[in-house]
Amino acid sequence: MSSNQQFLQNLYDAFNKREIETIISLMRPDVKWANGLEGGFVYGRDAVREYWTNQFKNIQVELETLKFETDENNRNIVTVHQIIKDLQGNVLANATVRQIFTIENGLISVYELGNTETIQEMIQNTKTSNEQ
């Protein structure tokens, strides 16, 4: 496992334990972070902290890394199995997604989503599929 892969695996482990401050410390102060819940981006460590704090009040997201790759722009592409549950543990969505990280000087500068569907859309599409 490369140093960036180990770095990112540690990030995912911290995320699954809800260690927000550990993850924040792995970001540049001016990080550009994809808002996976609603779309768009949040900017800066404080905005990411607020985003996750609000997200964790409503849903639980579990991420299992499946594959690490590097693209032609030297971005780190991580394929993950994502399970989204409500606070009672009911599965709302279950998908494989790609997450893209730009790492500069040992810190995350940009996080992007390889999928166009937001978490809200995934939950709604899963709900619609289950109703049919």
Determine the Cα–Cα distance for residues 32 and 112; give it in Å rounded to an integer.
8
At 114, give phi and psi (nearest 5°).
-85, -10
User: Model pTM?
Assistant: 0.86
Domain membership of residue 31 (yes or no) is yes
Determine the Cα–Cα distance for residues 125 and 95; give it in Å rounded to an integer.
11
Domain membership of residue 89 (yes or no) is yes
Q: Per residue in 110-122, pLDDT tens?
A: 999 987 666 667 6
Residue 69 sits in a domain whose CATH number is 3.10.450.50
Are 68 and 5 in contact, with CB atoms under 8 Å apart? yes
- For position 125, what pLDDT does the model report? 66
**Residues in the chain with pLDDT < 50?**
none
Query: Structural domain tally of the chain?
Result: 1
Give the domain extent around 53. 3-127
- For position 106, what pLDDT does the model report? 93
Determine the Cα–Cα distance for residues 60 and 4; give it in Å rounded to an integer.
26
Are 26 and 107 in contact, with CB atoms under 8 Å apart? yes
Tokens of 82: 């994502």
Domain membership of residue 132 (yes or no) is no
- For position 33, what pLDDT does the model report? 96
